[in-house]
Structure 1
Amino acid sequence: MDEKGEDAFDFELSVDESSAPTSPQAHLFIANEICEANIKVSSVAPRFVGEFQKAIDYIGDLDAFKRSFRTHAALARYFGYKISVHSGSDKFSVFPVIGELSRGRFHIKTSGTNWLEAVKVIARKDPGLYRELHRKALLTFDRATKYYHVTTNIKKVPDLSTLRDGQLPELFNNPDARQLIHITYGEIL
């Protein structure tokens, strides 16, 4: 790699898609191996305690999250990278904890919020298009759930035929409707 390109990108190591939370010992092992291999990372994304489901607030014991996050943030500081939180969209209950305990050295993935807000604008401005997107989401929901851990109850998503156009943006206040639209973005696009 030429000299000009060496720092032209961020390198993040993500271990958040594992089946169990990342223990402090595992984080330490990973960080030490990165350091020993002389690999410069910008951030590391462990899997935290609790649930970081798409498009809804954190589910879990906030005190347990604080204890765990404090340790992960300390390891990140020690090794010189940011702590990264994936599926950070709408995790309002943990945002203050992340900011405080990371001392401002964090990265939160929130692209889901941007997507949902964009689709909400479509619901407002072009209800016909939104209804088409929503129907596509319902048709592809089962396939999309293979890629995401969510507890969406599709029965709690109102039937579009019962809603007037002006009510469509209100769907984005419904956690199940939010998850429906969030996880099917690939199918919709």
Structure 2
Amino acid sequence: MTIPSVYPSGQTAAHSGVPGATALRLNKYSVGTGDRFAHQAKAQLQACLLASQQGVEVTPVWNKSNREHTIIGSEPTSTRQAADAAVKALHWEKPYFCDADHITLQTVDRFLAPCDFYTIDVADAIGQHAPASDIDQFVNRHPELLGKIQLSGIDEAFGITAEHLKNTAEKFLAAVKQAGKVYRKIESAKGAGNFIPEISMDETDRAQSPVELLIILAAIADEGIPIQTIAPKFSGRFNKGVDYVGDVAQFEKEMALDVAAIAYAVRQYGLPDNLKLSVHSGSDKFSIYPAIHATMRRFDAGVHLKTAGTTWLEELIGLAEADGDGLALAKQIYAEAFAHADELCAPYATVIDIDPTKLPSPQEVAVWTSEQYTSALRHVPGSPAYNSSLRQLLHVGFKIAAKMGHRYLDLLEANEAIIAKNVTENLYQRHIAPVFLGQRSI
């Protein structure tokens, strides 16, 4: 049985760049808005409304992974319900989506009914060898990839040898075929064109080159996956909830090359004409936001910026700012996170860098004022009080709040106004405005 697609108000199927295909169409600019506890959808949507008032349409995509649902004890339907309620309350009449974030063949089932955006994660399959016959067929199918390739807007040409093509296929073809299996499972349940597919390859050992990306896109086209976003791995560190660590100029060069490779693949292979880059772990990467904006303007390209856990941190900041019971709870969450740091950090070991010597003791935090707590946690580059190690620990510490159950949720509701102000301000002024409007972050 086909699961009916949930179409937002005013949202209908639109023509994609794949010949003969119709699909829900992701806007040129979109933002992934994570909401661990499904309480900040209105505050997040308000940030998109502020962008709209500035003449820029940024589509909200509420994303929550299977791991996060499992930790919190929630179901994907809760994300859909929160998004729908926010849209109704704020009279949003533009597209919006719910993302089954980082799903696999094993975890996709629970997301089939409520979601209409699927981030298909194949990072674990990268490096697994496809059958030799599949690799040979792929190489023989794509003689156009051999020799010199000139990407539009890029001065240098790229050469691809038969050996390079085969080696790249050996590394990535199995992963793409795995994505095809996941895509077809979703398609069989949702119906063609009733969801937006993304492929994620960011959680792997090294950045993909633009040539590798181009070869990967050819394989994706062969699999018949009409992806609208793709998340490659860039060089540098994309740690959770803190700024980018790496060479900003190199990042900008890589992004430009990737955007040009995508444009080439769209023309060459008939992939959707709105196919764009997705920047994962994109929250708080303030130092690269000007580069992202400049590249989008240079190529007239779109981007999908994922900003997952930053909302949960703004909840903590709002609670601490409220003082009283809110501050007391925020201090307790830090104390518990400090005590269980190894357990909390283990699943995120590759995307956090915490210096234990920079973590204040729970006893020290226990006597902090509201201002001290919020100044240490709030990501204000250059602030002497800002503590990136504390912020990263609390970023992965949402499991502590989840175990508190109604005690935490009741305080969210009791302090809704101050929390919402922080969530909206953070998402709009620190993320949406610098990336999509080219304004300076606060």
TM-score (norm 1): 0.90
Deviates more, 1:76-85 or 1:41-50: 76-85
What are the superposed Cα offsets for residues 125-184 of structure 1, whole Å, 9 maximum, x if unpaired? 211111121122113321232222221112212224234232221221211111011122
Q: SS at 1:55's partner residue?
A: coil
Output the amino acid matched with 2:373: L
Q: Match of 2:330?
A: 130
Do the aligned partners of 1:136 and 1:188 also contact (CA within 8 Å) in 2? no
Give the Cα separation in 2 of the matches to 1:107 and 1:115: 20
Q: CA deviation at 1:14?
A: 0.3
Give the Cα separation in 1 of the matches to 2:262 and 2:340: 38
Q: Match of 2:278?
A: 84
What are the superposed Cα offsets for residues 71-91 of structure 1, whole Å, 9 maximum, x if unpaired? 111123333311011111110
Give the Cα separation in 1 of the matches to 2:317 and 2:240: 16
Give the Cα separation in 1 of the matches to 2:262 and 2:278: 9
Q: Match of 2:360?
A: 158
C-alpha spacing 1:129/1:44, structure 2 compared with 1 (3 Å)? same
Of 398, 414, 424, which residue of structure 2 is paired with 1:185? 398
Do the aligned partners of 2:320 and 2:374 also contact (CA within 8 Å) in 1? yes
C-alpha spacing 1:3/1:141, structure 2 compared with 1 (3 Å)? closer
Q: SS at 1:108's partner residue?
A: strand
Give the Cα separation in 2 of the matches to 1:34 and 1:100: 28
Q: SS at 2:277's partner residue?
A: strand
Give the Cα separation in 2 of the matches to 1:76 and 1:129: 47
Q: Match of 2:294?
A: 100
C-alpha spacing 1:116/1:3, structure 2 compared with 1 (3 Å)? closer
Do the aligned partners of 1:57 and 1:90 also contact (CA within 8 Å) in 2? yes
- Quick check: 1:112 aligned with 2:316? no
Deviates more, 1:75-84 or 1:41-50: 75-84
Do the aligned partners of 1:24 and 1:71 also contact (CA within 8 Å) in 2? yes
Q: SS at 1:83's partner residue?
A: strand
Q: SS at 1:109's partner residue?
A: strand
C-alpha spacing 1:159/1:12, structure 2 compared with 1 (3 Å)? same
Output the amino acid matched with 1:48: F
Give the Cα separation in 1 of the matches to 2:284 and 2:293: 15
Q: SS at 2:254's partner residue?
A: helix
Output the amino acid matched with 2:309: G
In the alignment of these two chains, the number of paired residues is: 189
Of 365, 375, 379, which residue of structure 2 is paired with 1:170? 375
Q: Match of 1:64?
A: 250
Q: CA deviation at 1:113?
A: 1.7
Q: Match of 2:203?
A: 17
Give the Cα separation in 2 of the matches to 1:153 and 1:176: 6
What are the superposed Cα offsets for residues 38-96 of structure 1, whole Å, 9 maximum, x if unpaired? 21112000000111111111101111111111111112333331101111111011112
Q: SS at 1:13's partner residue?
A: strand
Output the amino acid matched with 1:85: V
Q: SS at 1:98's partner residue?
A: helix
Q: Match of 1:53?
A: 239
Q: Any runs of at least 4 consecutive aligned residues in structure 1 with deviations exceeding 6 A, and if so which?
A: none
**Higher relative strand content:** 2
Structure 1 residue runs without a partner (length 5+): none
Of 130, 137, 141, which residue of structure 1 is paired with 2:341? 141
Q: CA deviation at 1:109?
A: 0.8
Q: SS at 2:213's partner residue?
A: helix
Do the aligned partners of 1:13 and 1:43 also contact (CA within 8 Å) in 2? yes
Output the amino acid matched with 2:291: V
Matched-pair identity in %? 31
Do the aligned partners of 2:333 and 2:400 also contact (CA within 8 Å) in 1? no
Output the amino acid matched with 1:121: G
Give the Cα separation in 1 of the matches to 2:329 and 2:233: 36
Output the amino acid matched with 2:281: S
Do the aligned partners of 1:140 and 1:187 also contact (CA within 8 Å) in 2? no
Give the Cα separation in 2 of the matches to 1:32 and 1:69: 19
Output the amino acid matched with 1:113: T
Larger Rg: 2
